[in-house]
Amino acid sequence: MHKMKKYAGFLGGFGIACILGVFIQAKTADSYFEISKNLDIFTTLFKELNTYYVDPIEPGKMMKTSIDAMLENLDPYTNYITESDIEEYEFQTTGKYGGIGANMRKKDDKIYVGEVYENSPAFTAGLHPGDEVIAIDKQLLKGKDIDDISLLLKGSPGTQFTMRIKDAYTGTEIDKIITRSEIEVSSVPYAGLIGKNKDIAVVKLTQFTPACSRLVRSAFDSLKKAQPNLKSVVLDLRNNPGGLLNEAVSICNIFVDRGQLVVMTKGKTPQLSEEFRTSGAPWDLNIPVAVLINRSSASASEVVAGTLQDLDRAVIVGERSYGKGLVQVTRPLGYNARLKLTTAKYYTPSGRCIQAIDYAHRNADGSVGHIPDSLKKEFKTKGGRRVQSGGGVEPDVLVAEDDISKLAITLYIKNYFFDYATQYAKQNKTIASASTFALADADFAAFGKWLENKDYSYKTETEIALDSFKQAATRDKSFDAVKGEYNALLTKVSHDKKQDLAKHKAEVMRILENEIISRYYYLRGRIENSMRTDEDVQKALNLLEQPAQYQALLVPKK
């Protein structure tokens, strides 16, 4: 989580004036001497290598390697960002980059257009998912890595390039002149109304980027305008990795009054310790709220979920969150390089820190572990409910994660969902709305027939276990004695692909529908369609449609 605050003034000017006594002054002097001495050694070593090493060296690459190795002993969020990495870092923190608004996929040494963002340069140029990309500015792409192609696509807004493609629908090769622009991937890709009476608002927030709180509030305003009798809201923070701390505070301010403590940060020095409170007018103080989280909800997502839980202002639904209770800031290093480093831990209003991994105390082999249950502390919410520190945010309503079948994973990895969706879009110019589109049994049969001559074999858990048994028995020279029984058992457990397809019909249909919908309604459509079968959403929906059950979860257990 990043704090939109610079500490340079405090550290550079005020810090020296705050030295407390001769002891601290001496201790600081010793520390600076050690730093100065080792920096001098490092500089001399680097010069010697550059001057006398038998082969030429790459100073920039070598320096990056040495810095990364030094930071490796800290937490994984303290990183050296080189000038060449700045654009990717800016995209991660702001959601903006200069490019065409489409990602690429690689298959059989060829490059294809993958997802296309709505209203992007790629969209305007008429690119379709499934188009084969042959060349960029006459540079052939066959055999190139996706990262190399990404560099060719990104660039300053307003610059142009020519992309030669083979159209997925017509099969013709054509040159497309594409003008790059600033691409801003919205942190609120979906907002809509759900429920029997369409009176429950759901807003999905994917990242805490600058001004995302205004987008969320605006989305709720629009939904309230469309449905004046709005009964409750769902805030979806699943797979949200976090972002800006001040935006997390502003998101909480949508549902809690001004002046409310949201989060405290505690660092090495007083200047790095601070309280963050809401400062604006709330959107609604009383409307029931359900917040969705999962194992990939981290940092700022956990601030919002943990704070609203501590204040008994929302019911948390889903899985235990990731457990990142650390705050990062970025410091300039010169030459457009930066250091992102952890400066503090954060604490929710009840006083708990949700950090799950103890990076300060490593094992003898250098590995780190989760904070043990014996060291976790119990805290209480505003209304007296019990919550724990040291392990992410525990949901009030736990929804077990659905296991994805090996069949579905195999079909996805081999691009069969993607390829069939391309064929489907080629044959069908329009489909039903994203919220109502569904494949029929005949469509599933057609997909099965399309798969008949394609390899999507895989090994089940039982088959993998039998392989391990065979290897162990062979090493022990005992396999011959059980070979007959082994082969009989292997025959019994060997799976039939057609049977597997029928067994996992519902899952396969759901994924295929979602892929097809993306060709017509893009990411927004994907999310809208998934609402019908999303277990977390349905759980929250059922809860919010039963006010007594919702309120019961906010009362301390006796």
In degrees rounded to 5, what are phi and psi of residue 115?
Answer: -75, 140
Separation of alpha carbons 355 and 327, rounded Å: 11
**163 within 8 A of 77, measured Cβ to Cβ:** no
- pLDDT of the residue at 10: 34
| Phi, psi of 363, deg, nearest 5 | -75, 170
434, amino acid identity: A
CA distance 21 to 317: 51
Active site includes 435?
no
Using an 8 Å Cβ cutoff, are 241 and 248 in contact? no
- pLDDT of 23: 42
CA distance 57 to 54: 9
Kindly report, residue by residue over 79-107, the tens digit of the pLDDT: 998 887 877 777 777 767 789 999 999 99
Residue that is written with structure tokens 């080792």 in the block: 38
What tens digit of pLDDT does each residue of 330-387 get? Answer: 899 888 889 999 999 999 999 999 999 888 777 777 777 787 777 788 999 999 999 9
Q: Is 119 helix (H, G, I), strand (E, B) or coil?
A: coil
**Residues whose CB falls within 8 Å of the CB of residue 204, separated by 6 or more in sequence, listed in order:** 188, 189, 190, 191, 236, 527
Burial class (CB within 10 angstroms; exposed 0-12, middle 13-18, buried 19+) of 51: exposed
Which one of 299, 321, 389, 518 is the catalytic residue? Answer: 299
Residue 291 · residue 316 · CB < 8 Å: yes
Evaluate if pTM is beyond 0.95. Answer: no
Query: Is 299 labeled as catalytic in the residue annotation?
Result: yes
Please say if 558 is a catalytic residue: no
Q: Which residues of the chain have pLDDT under 50?
A: 3-25
**Rounded to whole angstroms, how far apart are CA atoms 134 and 145?**
13
Q: What is the pLDDT of residue 294?
A: 96
Contacts of 315 (CB under 8 A, 6+ apart): 288, 289, 290, 291, 396, 397, 540, 543, 550, 553, 554
Q: Helices then strands (H, E): number in the chain?
A: 19, 23
**CA–CA separation, 550 and 267 (whole Å):** 37
Q: Residue 535 has which token pair?
A: 């277990």
Residue 274, classified by CB atoms within 10 Å of its CB into exposed (0-12), middle (13-18) or buried (19+), is middle
Q: Which residue has the tokens 């188009």?
A: 131
User: Dihedral (C-alpha) 149, 155, 160, 161: value to the nearest 10 degrees?
Assistant: -10
**What was the pLDDT predicted at 218?**
98
Of 131, 236, 310, 500, the active-site residue reads 310
The C-alpha atoms of residue 273 and residue 345 are separated, in whole angstroms, by: 9
Name 121's Cβ contacts closer than 8 Å, sequence gap at least 6: 99, 100, 101, 178, 179, 180, 181, 183
Alpha-carbon distances, residue 178 vs 1, 101, 170, 172, 322 (angstroms)? 35, 11, 20, 18, 40
**pLDDT number for residue 117:** 92
Task: Tell me phi and psi for residue 372, to 5 degrees.
Answer: -65, 155
Q: What is the pLDDT of residue 1?
A: 63
CA-to-CA separations, 241 to 208, 247, 324, in angstroms, rounded = 8, 13, 9
Strand boundaries in 356-403, DSSP class E: 357-358, 369-370, 378-380, 386-388, 397-398
Q: What is the dihedral of CA 364, 369, 373, 379, to 10 degrees?
A: 120
SS3 per residue for 263-318:
EEEEECCHHHCEEEECCCCCCCCCCCEEEEECCCCCCHHHHHHHHHHHCCCCEEEE
175 - beta bridge partners? 164
Q: Residue 556 has which token pair?
A: 């301390």
Task: Say how many CA atoms lie within 13 Å of 355 toward its Cβ.
Answer: 22
Q: What is the pLDDT of residue 24?
A: 43
Question: Strands 200-204 and 232-236, how do they pair?
Answer: parallel
Beta pairing partners, 261: 277
Choose, from 3, 204, 324, 539, the residue flagged as catalytic. 324
